[in-house]
Amino acid sequence: MKPEISVVIPTIDEESVFQLVKDIRRLLGNGTEIIIVDKSGNAYFRRLQKTGARVIRQRDRGVERAIMMGLRAARGNVLASIDADGTHDPAGLKDGFRLVKEGKADLVLGNRMGHLERGSMSWYIIIGNSILSWLFRVLYKTEVHDVLTGLFVTKRSAFNEIRNIEPYRAGIAFFAIELARRGCDIKEVGIKYYRRRYGSSKLTRSKFVYGINVASHIIRQLRDYSPLAIFGGLGVIVIIIGLILGLNVFYDFLRTGRFAETGRALIAFFMVMLGFLFWISGLILDLLLEIERKIGR
C-alpha cells in the first residue's frame, strides 16, 4: 500500500537523526515512509540502516540535490522534508500535512522566526533571512517569512511539475521559487527552532555567499519569468531620479537666468536615457519570452 506521507531527511553525519526518526514515527504513524539521503562514511551509513528507514547514498553534493533525490524516490501522496540536525520541530510536518490534505496549500513552509530558542540563530542570519524573505514576498506576492527554513510539506502533483529540474544552490528556497513560479499556493506554519546540539554546520563554507546566491536566484527566476516587471520597474525609478535632478537644474536656470550646473544636467540626462534603455530592454525581453512561450505551447 502507498504511504500517506513520505519524509525526506538529508544528512551528513548528524547525530540527531536517530531521535528524529523516532519522533516522526510517533507523530505521523509507523506507516510513514522515511527516506534518509546520506552523504557520510560507512559506519554512519550502517547505523542509519538499523533505523528501518530507507537509506539512499548521495554521490554528488548539495542539500537541494539530496532532497530532490529523496523526493524522486518517494512513494507517498504527500511529500515532505526536514533537516536532520534536530533543530526543526517535526510537529510542523503534521501541521503542514493537514493543510495540504485539506487542499488549503500546494506547499507549506515551516516558519521558525516566531519561535527561536535562545542562541539558535545568529543575528546576521536573522537579518539576512528577513531581507531574502521580504524579497521573495515582494517579487512572488506570497506571504513567506522564512525562506531559509529546513522544513516543508508539498503535494505530489506540485512536486511532479518540478521533479525533472536540476536543482540550483538555494536550499529549500529552490523548491519555494520553482513552485511559486508555477502559481502554486504557498502557506506557512509556525515551528519551533532549537539550537544545534551536535556537530557543526554542513550546508556551506560561507553563509554570506550562500545568501547572495539565494537572492540572485530569487531575482533571476523572476527576471526570466517577467522581465518587464524587473527592467521596467528599474527603468521608471532611474527616470524619476534623473527627472528630479534635471528639474532642479532647470529651476535654477529660470531663477538666475544662468545655466550653471552642467555636471548635474549631464548626469540627469544620462539617467533618463539609462532609464529608457532599461525599460526598452525589459520590453524586448518580454516580447522574446512571449514568442518563446507561444512556440513552446
Contact with ligand GTP (CB under 6 A) among 203, 236, 241, 274: 203
Residues in touch with Mg ion (CB under 5 A): 83, 85, 87
Shortest distance, position 247 Cβ to Mg ion, whole Å: 52
State which residue, 10 or 227, has the beta carbon closest to ligand GTP. 10
C-beta nearest to ligand GTP: residue: 201
**Segment lying near ligand GTP (by CB under 6 A), choices 60-68, 94-102, 253-261, 262-270:** 60-68
SS (H, E, C) the chain: CCCCEEEEEEECCCCCHHHHHHHHHHHHCCCCEEEEEECCCHHHHHHHHCCCCEEEECCCCCHHHHHHHHHHHCCCCEEEEECCCCCECCHHHHHHHHHHHCCCCCEEEEECCCCECCCCCCHHHHHHHHHHHHHHHHHHCCCCCCCCCCEEEEEHHHHHCCCCCCCCCCCCHHHHHHHHHCCCCEEEEECCECCCCCCCCCCCCCHHHHHHHHHHHHHHHHHHHCHHHHHHHHHHHHHHHHHHHHHHHHHHHHHHCCCCCHHHHHHHHHHHHHHHHHHHHHHHHHHHHHHHHHHHC
Q: How far is CA 50 from CA 1, 80, 280, in A?
A: 23, 22, 61
**Segment lying near ligand GTP (by CB under 6 A), choices 33-41, 72-80, 109-117, 162-170:** 33-41
Other C-beta atoms closer than 10 Å to the C-beta of 256 total 9
Shortest distance, position 67 Cβ to ligand GTP, whole Å: 8
Binding partner selected for residue 61 from Mg ion, ligand GTP, none, CB under the kind-specific 5 to 8 Å limit = ligand GTP
User: Residue 19 interacts with ligand GTP (CB under 6 A)?
Assistant: no
Contact with ligand GTP (CB under 6 A) among 7, 37, 144, 191: 37
User: Residue 12 interacts with ligand GTP (CB under 6 A)?
Assistant: yes
Binding partner selected for residue 62 from Mg ion, ligand GTP, none, CB under the kind-specific 5 to 8 Å limit = ligand GTP
Binding partner selected for residue 203 from Mg ion, ligand GTP, none, CB under the kind-specific 5 to 8 Å limit = ligand GTP
State which residue, 195 or 220, has the beta carbon closest to Mg ion. 195
State which residue, 10 or 90, has the beta carbon closest to ligand GTP. 10
Contact with ligand GTP (CB under 6 A) among 85, 95, 106, 178: 85
By the criterion CB under 6 A, which residues form the site for ligand GTP?
10-12, 14, 37-39, 58, 61-63, 66, 83-85, 87, 150, 196, 201-203
